[in-house]
Structure 1
Amino acid sequence: MNLNVGVPSLLRIITATILICYNVKGIAQNSDEIWFDKPATYFEETLVLGNGKMGASIFGGIQTEKIFLNDITLWSGEPMNHNNNPEAYKNLPEIRAALKAENYKLADSLNKKLQGQFSQSYAPLGTLLLHFKNEANITNYKRSLDLTTAIADVSYESNGVKYKREYFISNPKKVMVVRLTSDRKKAISFDLKFESQLRFKIKELDSKLIATGYAPVHVEPSYRGSIKNPIVFDADKGTRFTSAFSIKQTDGTVKIQDAVLSVQNATKVELLIAVATSFNGFDKNPATEGLNHENIAMEQIKSSKKETYANLKKEHVADYSELYNRVDFKLSHKELPNVPTDQRLLRYETGANDQNLEILYFNYGRYLLIASSRTKEVPANLQGLWNPHIRPPWSSNYTININLQENYWLAETANLPELHQPLLSFIGNLSKTGAITAKTYYGTNGWAAGHNSDIWALTNPVGDFGQGNPNWANWNMGGVWLTSHLWEHYLYTKDSTYLKEYAYPIIKGAATFASEWLIKDKHGQFISSPSTSPENLYKTPEGYVGATLYGATADMAMIKELFYSYLNASKTLAIQDDFTRKIKFNLENLSPYKIGQKGNLQEWYYDWEDQNPKHRHQTHLYGLHPGNHITPYDTPKLAEAAKTTLEIKGDETTGWSKGWRINLWARLWDGNRAYKMYRELLRYVNPDTSKPNSKRGGTYPNLFDAHPPFQIDGNFGGAAGVIEMLMQSNTETIYLLPALPDAWQKGSIKGIKARGGFEIDLDWEQHKLIKSTVSSLKGGKTTVSYKGRKKAIHLNPNESINIYW
């Protein structure tokens, strides 16, 4: 070890056909571009853009261009009454008595009394349609998204004329910009129309086409199926929206008539699109206390019109690339056919090597986080911010028994802490409404949150007051889990002001709930009761299949991690009082992990069978990942039991679950198994639901994660798993290449973050680490470890160290 200190810084059958059709030489496929040779037919083939608030899904049609528009603050509903089941907690003694008597059927039935209303749904804003004229005989079509600039392009030739469209959504200016050009004068003519599944009207204002409308006041979750009045509109209620369309510059003729904006005989057209809503916070009525959405949209258009197209583009690229360029991942690669992304996926599924595709998926995860997470108190939802459905899958809500958290596993390690802020600030909202939930549903102080949430910060257990199955409706550890993000943000940034003034009180509130929720079992150890393990069912020796029990391992793991975090935060802030002593006592007397007869980590208090041994959820492995208290080096027996559990579950699972399992295998330091799962996550899924492979987990043509249907959490979980394979850390040690797969013989990654506020660069060859660079913004101590070799380092602020291995 050598140190020097410096300054920081699908099928094989079609493969031959593909090569013939594209008639290209073997080249290194791009790891920063998604592209297609035809327009999208399905949403899961579109190119998506976003600035963290506004989203667009681009189909790239020729005669008709279709663009789905979204605003991340446009949801059904309005501020809710969180005191919606004020005496629910009175049912607890009866539930606990049923559990003490081991009457699980009765406990399941009684547990339904601890249920409230469902969450609301994320809404689609509308669809922009551009109907082009006189375009036929199409050749040389290409539709692409450049991840280095967040700019999409469509180009083609029609009757000898070359057309190009360029699209981006500016975060600095809060508008979408579309530029259309042709190489023949006066060749562009189109009609612009707006459609929406919401209630809206269209008017002309100052040569702009303005659509204003409102979202439903209530939407029933899609999984409730056919139900009376699933979508309720009320002209006096709900979130308002504006979508404004304005021609910035053109040499053609522009007119607006009958709700249509027409451009005739243009060579160049620059179009501005602004969207805004009246959402003004989770506790403000958007109809009566909302923002002036129309004025906001008009001001965004006005401000952007003052800038040249070149300046708008330059400002957008500078803003975006400052985030995207922080991390650089490279692998050795072979020359490959330069084919569209969907064909790359098909080829990859046959077992072909495409390491630039593996990098592309990682880069796309970072891209999606930048594009969907830049709005305070409104984190990326189940579909990021891209949703075309008025009753979207699972309401496109915040599902906080894994999915919302998985969205943000990438934020700190991929050096994007600013993008963590929408979630961190949203947790603050939940802590306020969750205080009511804790008191009314559980009879405790502190705060708690259940399985689902929405923009209105819903925290009650869902189920429509007794209609839900407790295996998904009654879980109440959402707040306990979410607070780990507050502590993790501190560990990565070392921002003590943030910890003291914001995070610590919220963490303490969750710890207060957890400590008061615990009861003692027959051994005198603390357990949760009633308890469930998210979405899974047990089978007792007597054959009863149920959800409600006491002391589920998932609960105990999360409470253990929370207590560790709270005590460490207290120590950091030099706080020691009666409450810290109470939490320490609770922690020391928690019911311990148990290893079952099969060698697995028990999911249930007793060594019961799962109804489905290969269930997609593995929440009881939380202590291994995303928690940090089960490790191969500190708790080898528990780590081995976790491994056995994963073996029993197998590898075939949904997209988001596969993303999680990549991280779990990486934490077990099994890089080859993690890599196998990563390859399977990149398995092609046809967006046509009538096709045989459309119902399996994997990746859609545009690299969206397929649960199926589309959920964005698998994208984020899979990308986070890449970093876990290459670097892991705790508060004392940084582990380099702990789960490097054999397939990645040579490569480098630069700019990733470790706990303690350290930035890491790695270079390896022949499967061996050659050089690592550790930098520190604020200074600090850590130990760097590689294959058992360790080096203690102490860096000053803005200092770095190179270590040659």
Structure 2
Amino acid sequence: MKKFSLVAILFLGVQFNPIASEPAKKPTYEKLKLWYNKPAQYFEEALVLGNGRVGATVYGGTETDKIHLNDITLWSGEPMDPYMNPQAYKHLPAVREALKNENYKLADSLVRKLQGKFSESYAPLGDLYIDFKSGPVKNYYRELDLDKAIASVKYDAGDQTISREYFVSHPDKILVIHLKSSQPKGLNFNVRFGSQLKYKSKSTINHLHFQGVAPVRAEPNYVRKKGNPIIFKENQGTRFSADVLLQSTDGQVSRTDSTVSLANATEATILVSLATSFNGFDKNPNSQGLNDDAIAQEQLQLASRRTVVEMRARHIQDYQQFFKRVSLRLGGERAPELPTDDRLRRYAKGEKDPYLETLYFQFGRYLLISSSRTLGVPANLQGLWNPHIQPPWSSNYTMNINAEENYWLAENTNLSEMHAPFLSFIENLEKTGKITAKTFYDAPGWTVHHNSDIWAMTNPVGDFGNGSPSWANWYMGGAWAATHLWEHYSFTMDEKFLKEKAYPLMRGAAEFCLAMLVPDSKGNLITSPSTSPENRFITPTGYHGETAYGGSADLAMIRELFADLIEADKILKKDAAFSQQLQDALKKLYPYQVGKKGNLQEWYFDWEDVEPTHRHQSHLFGLYPGTHLTVENTPRLTDAAKKTLEIKGDETTGWSKGWRINLWARLKDGNHAYKMYRELLKYVEPDGVKIEYRRGGGTYPNLFDAHPPFQIDGNFGGAAAVAEMLVQSDMNKIYLLPAVSDEWKKEGEVKGLKARGGFEIDMAWKNGRVVSLQIKGVPGGKTTLIFNGKSQEINIAKGKQLRIL
């Protein structure tokens, strides 16, 4: 498989440069941690660790400690057949004809002929159990240290204190569990493994070895078919290996075929190595797969030669080179030192807690570092952490918002390297997406629809006619995803990346969009057919429809992509004719419409929505994550976007709240953005807890986003929004504190946020005014700063810093 080179975009050597504060008040930063006074009972209470490929979900029990194990490359299925519906395109003219005749019911029926298979599912590798022999416990404490990416448990059992420490090392590719007793010979436990997948086990003196396989098919959890939804087949599917090594300098080791036990030890280390046979989206994981057995054993052998102290130091150094780039301190009242779940409950009652608000932001950055370091395999709907064999929505890549939202914080919170798995995934999508464009639409270029998976599936989903067109037939995933390529360039200014990777992929997505544009009755260019993700309209005759033409969301994404390509060609200067074609098409696109309610229309006509408060707001794409609607340049349209948000209201799912906070920030309404940020942090009980009140979107006890159920995109969208409230930018200007709320205006400091043009911002503020400001020009260049009611042009040499205040 062709490697995706991003060498030129990595800034591993960039040193963090703190800014000087007022001499009399040197700011202090509290330790960033999640902590609890009891073990986790439910998944949404457990603490998560990851190295970008291997994930561990730690419950921290005292009788049995359960740890879910995941490998981001372990999915059901095998490479897809992109020619699954080769004659589908022949039905497109009939769909367009029905729409031309305003027969939306017929169009809804006919468009189902342009559907294919469902995606595959992300699989849980297994569970590690550590069973302890201990009596009553007191003084229990469980923690996740975000500064070090280390989880720990500590408690008193009898006359001894038991402590455990957990981390997943990226340099050593291993899960490390270190156990210690304050009294000699106080550790007594056995280690075992279980999995919902098919597996077999064997053991040696202090070593457990497990080999298994993922299903060849795992139906989505929302599909109800006769027969088993989970299918295993001989010599098919992705293999996995899990090796567990128990190390101790004292104590007695014993074993069975599937367990290893330690008695009367003072200190011990458990090393867990995971590997799969996944060898790329287009390689059969069985016949062309990697040797997972050999990889797992080699990782274990190499790690076992190092001490825990060495592995811990290597892990922290690797992790902190990313995490420590950004720090945030919000002034205000200090909340009581409470366990994180109690802190959330207190916050939900309206109490102030700037530390919790900061913690949530940094937790989002922590999650991205922990789940997105595998090229071609981005963070999925649950990031990396999944205990279900049929996870919600297959834990796949939902391309009509969720997969993209996962990466909104990658650039502005200084984690460009974590963007690489998604950017390289786009390269995979382009290969299968070319065939999808041809067979479903007889179109050039490439596209991807509502869902994708590790196999880079790009077809319309719906199980060949059983899917609702509002989600199954949405085909703008390629256009949306491709805007991330320009986004990456705009923050890094990496011209090599733009020329060799971004531009060809963006061009292919635009070629498809051009082919899908047709003239309306007035000569405007529109898409046909068109759907607005997961939403439905009401026609004047009362029909509740899904398929129409000229949807605002389609045209917004096309506008953004075409504008990005035009700007890219101004830099590369190698594709003038195509650039002119895009400029001509932009001039003819059906313009945005303001409806009778003052809202930005979602549909070609001023129709009512079946659900006015619907969670999706795709037609506001141009405001965010797009950049072509702005308060400064398009006030009439941003006013209409604001009216749309007011009509939709603030109560919605977790990921949708994350999106709406960013939209309010782009509207420069910091108080409304802050109001919704507080609502994103609304406490939600774990899914296993039966409660009487209706659960909306919010935050679980372990700070995971509650859709509900758990989806990680809300975490990522919410973290991105904090940065958006503090710093906004385009290729020419940087706005400081553009959407800071009254609550945050009083005092604060942030270091390391990124702006377009590759600039890095360190600033402090008081009473809504920037009082300390330093800019670093990573690639260097010119920009205009907008702050404290004035603008200031600056020019910074490459790698230099400029103190403004």
State the TM bucket, normalised to the shorter chain: over 0.9
Matched, 1:449 2:448: yes
CA distance in 2, matches of 1:321, 1:258: 39
CA distance in 2, matches of 1:382, 1:214: 22
Please tell me the residue identity of whatever aligns with 1:291: L
CA distance in 2, matches of 1:31, 1:715: 20
Which residue does 2:86 correspond to in 1? 86
Kept in 2, the 8 Å contact 1:685–1:694? The answer is: no
Which residue does 1:755 correspond to in 2? 756
CA distance in 2, matches of 1:515, 1:143: 55
Please tell me the residue identity of whatever aligns with 2:787: Y
Q: Give ranges in structure 1 of 5+ residues lacking alignment.
A: 1-6, 10-27
Larger deviation, residues 537-546 vs 690-699: 690-699
Alignment of 1:645-794 (within 5 A): 645-687=644-686, 688-693=688-693, 695-744=695-744, 745-794=746-795
Match of 2:585, SS? helix
How far does the alpha carbon of each residue in 1:219-243 deviate from its partner, in whole angstroms, 9 at most, with x for none?
Answer: 1100114542211001210000001
Alignment of 1:89-104 (within 5 A): 89-104=89-104
CA distance in 2, matches of 1:659, 1:436: 34
Which residue does 2:42 correspond to in 1? 42
Match of 1:348, SS? helix
Kept in 2, the 8 Å contact 1:29–1:336? The answer is: no
CA distance change for structure 1 residues 32 and 607 in 2, over 3 Å: closer, same or farther?
A: same
Which residue does 1:106 correspond to in 2? 106
The number of equivalent residue pairs is 779
Match of 2:318, SS? helix
Matched, 1:797 2:798: yes
How far does the alpha carbon of each residue in 1:713-751 deviate from its partner, in whole angstroms, 9 at most, with x for none?
Answer: 000000000010001000110011000100011001110
Which residue does 2:366 correspond to in 1? 367
Please tell me the residue identity of whatever aligns with 2:804: I
Match of 1:112, SS? helix
CA distance in 2, matches of 1:663, 1:791: 26
Match of 2:757, SS? coil
After TM superposition, give the deviation of residue 259 of structure 1 in Å.
1.1
Kept in 2, the 8 Å contact 1:29–1:337? The answer is: no
Kept in 2, the 8 Å contact 1:31–1:360? The answer is: no
Match of 1:245, SS? strand
Which residue does 1:605 correspond to in 2? 604
How far does the alpha carbon of each residue in 1:234-256 deviate from its partner, in whole angstroms, 9 at most, with x for none?
Answer: 12100000011001333111122
After TM superposition, give the deviation of residue 692 of structure 1 in Å.
2.7
Please tell me the residue identity of whatever aligns with 1:231: I
Which residue does 1:547 correspond to in 2? 546
CA distance in 1, matches of 2:114, 2:164: 54
Match of 1:367, SS? helix
CA distance in 1, matches of 2:204, 2:505: 46
Match of 2:742, SS? coil
Please tell me the residue identity of whatever aligns with 1:48: V
CA distance in 2, matches of 1:227, 1:416: 45
Which residue does 1:559 correspond to in 2? 558
How far does the alpha carbon of each residue in 1:503-560 deviate from its partner, in whole angstroms, 9 at most, with x for none?
Answer: 1110000010001111000110110000000000001111000110000000000000
Match of 2:804, SS? strand
Kept in 2, the 8 Å contact 1:75–1:239? The answer is: yes
Q: Give ranges in structure 2 of 5+ residues lacking alignment.
A: 1-14, 18-27
| Identical positions, percent | 56
After TM superposition, give the deviation of residue 575 of structure 1 in Å.
2.1
Matched, 1:169 2:158: no
After TM superposition, give the deviation of residue 336 of structure 1 in Å.
2.8
After TM superposition, give the deviation of residue 264 of structure 1 in Å.
1.0
Which residue does 1:17 correspond to in 2? none
Match of 2:151, SS? strand
After TM superposition, give the deviation of residue 761 of structure 1 in Å.
1.1
CA distance in 2, matches of 1:292, 1:33: 38
How far does the alpha carbon of each residue in 1:625-660 deviate from its partner, in whole angstroms, 9 at most, with x for none?
Answer: 000000000000000000000000000000000000
Kept in 1, the 8 Å contact 2:31–2:147? The answer is: no
Kept in 2, the 8 Å contact 1:686–1:693? The answer is: no
Please tell me the residue identity of whatever aligns with 1:632: V
CA distance in 2, matches of 1:336, 1:725: 22
Kept in 1, the 8 Å contact 2:552–2:604? The answer is: yes
How far does the alpha carbon of each residue in 1:102-144 deviate from its partner, in whole angstroms, 9 at most, with x for none?
Answer: 00000000010110000000000000011111x1221100010
Match of 2:592, SS? coil
Which residue does 1:421 correspond to in 2? 420
CA distance in 1, matches of 2:439, 2:182: 67
After TM superposition, give the deviation of residue 778 of structure 1 in Å.
1.7
CA distance in 2, matches of 1:235, 1:739: 57
After TM superposition, give the deviation of residue 800 of structure 1 in Å.
1.8
CA distance change for structure 1 residues 531 and 139 in 2, over 3 Å: closer, same or farther?
A: same
Which residue does 2:256 correspond to in 1? 257
CA distance change for structure 1 residues 206 and 432 in 2, over 3 Å: closer, same or farther?
A: farther
Kept in 1, the 8 Å contact 2:29–2:329? The answer is: no
Match of 2:209, SS? strand
Kept in 1, the 8 Å contact 2:785–2:794? The answer is: yes
Which residue does 1:485 correspond to in 2? 484
How far does the alpha carbon of each residue in 1:751-780 deviate from its partner, in whole angstroms, 9 at most, with x for none?
Answer: 010000110112101222212211102211
Alignment of 1:54-93 (within 5 A): 54-93=54-93
CA distance change for structure 1 residues 694 and 259 in 2, over 3 Å: closer, same or farther?
A: farther
Which residue does 2:390 correspond to in 1? 391
Please tell me the residue identity of whatever aligns with 1:49: L
How far does the alpha carbon of each residue in 1:650-689 deviate from its partner, in whole angstroms, 9 at most, with x for none?
Answer: 0000000000000000000000000000000000000034
Kept in 2, the 8 Å contact 1:379–1:422? The answer is: yes
After TM superposition, give the deviation of residue 787 of structure 1 in Å.
4.9
Match of 1:89, SS? helix
After TM superposition, give the deviation of residue 205 of structure 1 in Å.
4.7
After TM superposition, give the deviation of residue 335 of structure 1 in Å.
3.5
Which residue does 2:494 correspond to in 1? 495
Kept in 2, the 8 Å contact 1:689–1:695? The answer is: no
Please tell me the residue identity of whatever aligns with 2:492: T
How far does the alpha carbon of each residue in 1:11-49 deviate from its partner, in whole angstroms, 9 at most, with x for none?
Answer: xxxxxxxxxxxxxxxxx9956100110010100000000
Which residue does 1:20 correspond to in 2? none
Which residue does 1:348 correspond to in 2? 347
CA distance in 2, matches of 1:409, 1:320: 20
Larger deviation, residues 450-459 vs 686-695: 686-695
CA distance in 2, matches of 1:31, 1:718: 21
Which residue does 1:137 correspond to in 2? 136
CA distance in 2, matches of 1:336, 1:677: 20
TM-score normalised per structure 1: 0.96
CA distance in 2, matches of 1:401, 1:159: 54
Please tell me the residue identity of whatever aligns with 2:555: M
Please tell me the residue identity of whatever aligns with 1:274: S
After TM superposition, give the deviation of residue 580 of structure 1 in Å.
1.8
After TM superposition, give the deviation of residue 8 of structure 1 in Å.
8.6
CA distance in 1, matches of 2:715, 2:452: 21
Please tell me the residue identity of whatever aligns with 1:730: D
Match of 2:288, SS? coil
How far does the alpha carbon of each residue in 1:286-331 deviate from its partner, in whole angstroms, 9 at most, with x for none?
Answer: 0110000011110111101111111100000000011100000001
